[in-house]
Structure formats: structure tokens, C-alpha cells
Structure 1
Amino acid sequence: MRLEGGSALSLRRWWRSAGFARAGIAHAYRTQPNFRIEVWAGTLACAVALALRAPLAPVALACALVLGLELVNTALEAVVDLASPELHPLAKVAKDAAAGAVLVASGGAVVVALAVLLPPLLRVLGF
């Protein structure tokens, strides 16, 4: 891997791109209340998985899916607002569908949490 220049394999280029990604995540955290809730819910779910010695991978992947889709939803809303400042039925469809994707992933994450975390939690509680 080259460490300089414009190559796609450039470490400098990758680091710059990662900075843009961090800026996008920070913007979403600052401006999107649902993203903040999902970050903390995911953190709690992962902590519970670790505390219960339950498999972390499915919980972490479900959390990453929800957060990733929330970031895509935020990006899509910004683009739709830029392209269509006035209310438009297709803009509504785009925004609603993106929000629906987050909702579907969130439902799946709840199912994963129940399947992975509930059995060890019930054992700890003596059930």
C-alpha cells in the first residue's frame, strides 16, 4: 500500500475519507435524536451481552445495521430536502421508505436481542 499520492490504496486518502465518515457520524449524533437513542441502546445491548457472556457478534451486527441505516436515512433526508425544498409526494415516499428501513432493522435487532440475551438473562434471574 502506498502511503502518499492519489492512489486508491493511499493511506493518506483513506485517512481523509475516514475523517469525512467521522464527520457524518458526528453530525448525525448532534442533530438526530433517534440516532443518539440508537447509539445508547446499542451500547447497552452490547454491554449486557458482555456481562451475560452471551454471543456478542449477532448483537453488535444488529446494532451496526440499525445505526448504518439511520445514517443512510439521515443522508437521504438531506438530499431530498436539497433537491425538493417544497413538499412533494415522491419526496415523502423516499423519506418514509428510508425511515421504514430503519424501523424494520430495529425490529430485527429486538428479535436478535430477545433470542440472544433473554435465555442467559433468565438463567441469571433463576428462571
Structure 2
Amino acid sequence: MAKFIKSFGYAFSGIVHAFKSQFNFRFHIAALFVVGLAGWYFQLSAGEWLWIVVAAGIVLLSELFNTAVEVLVDLVSPDIHPKAKIIKDTAAAAVLIAAITSVLIGLIIFIPKISYAA
């Protein structure tokens, strides 16, 4: 059981590392905070919150995987290498696609509410 509990500490350490070292991770956390406030203000339904939570989770997960990939590539290929660049660029592209998808989900949810409030 102690080993299981320790694993949460390791996971939290990874989140802290990403937060401290990755501007984009901090940006996505800040964006999530703003979206959370907007969701509270517009009184989102449970279904709308579900989409927000899933989108946010995918973006944060992709950022964490991207960070892990970058660190691993730097470890195994400290010198500049064309294949290392492709690996890093592809991992970053996954984050971009996740972020664009989350923005689209947010627009689908919030545009009607903003239009109605105006």
C-alpha cells in the first residue's frame, strides 16, 4: 500500500515539474481557470461541464506527454539530430491538435451563451 501511495507523490512531482518548466502547461492551466470561471458564470449544464473536463484533461495530458517526450529525446539524443526534431515536433503537434479541439468545444458551448446574454 505504501508503494501505491508513493506513486501519487511521483505523479504529483511530474505535474510540478511540468508546471515549473513548461510555459505552455502554465498557459493551459490559466486558460482552464478562465474557462472554469466562465462556466460558473454561465451556469453550464452537467453535459457541458463534462465536455469541458474531457477537453481540459486531454490538453493537460498531451502537454505532460509532450514534456516527457522532450526530456526523453534530450536524454538519448543530446546533440541536434533530424529524427529527434521530428519526434519533438510530432509530440508538440499532438498538443496543438488537442488545444484546437478544446477551443472548438469551448466555442460550441460558450458562443450561444454569450449571444443569448448580449
**TM-score under structure 2 length normalisation:** 0.93
- Runs of 4+ deviating beyond 3 Å: none
Partner of 2:26: 36
Asked if residue 50 in structure 1 is aligned to residue 40 in structure 2, the reply is yes
Summarize deviations over 1:41-91 as a string: whole Å, max 9, x none: 011112211220122110121111111100000000000000000011110
* Count of residue correspondences: 115
TM-score by length of 1: 0.87
Root-mean-square deviation over aligned CA pairs: 0.9
- Please tell me whether residue 24 in structure 1 is matched to residue 14 in structure 2: yes
Q: Does residue 120 in structure 1 map to residue 113 in structure 2?
A: yes
- 2:100 aligns with 107
**Which is higher, the Rg of structure 1 or of structure 2?**
1
- 1-structure distance, mates of 2:51, 2:14: 25
How far off its partner does 1:13 sit?
Answer: 2.3
Letter in 1 for 2:53: A
* Stretches of structure 1 lacking an aligned partner (at least 5 in a row): 1-9
In the alignment, structure 2 segments of 5+ residues that lack a partner are none
Alignment of 1:60-79 (within 5 A): 60-79=53-72
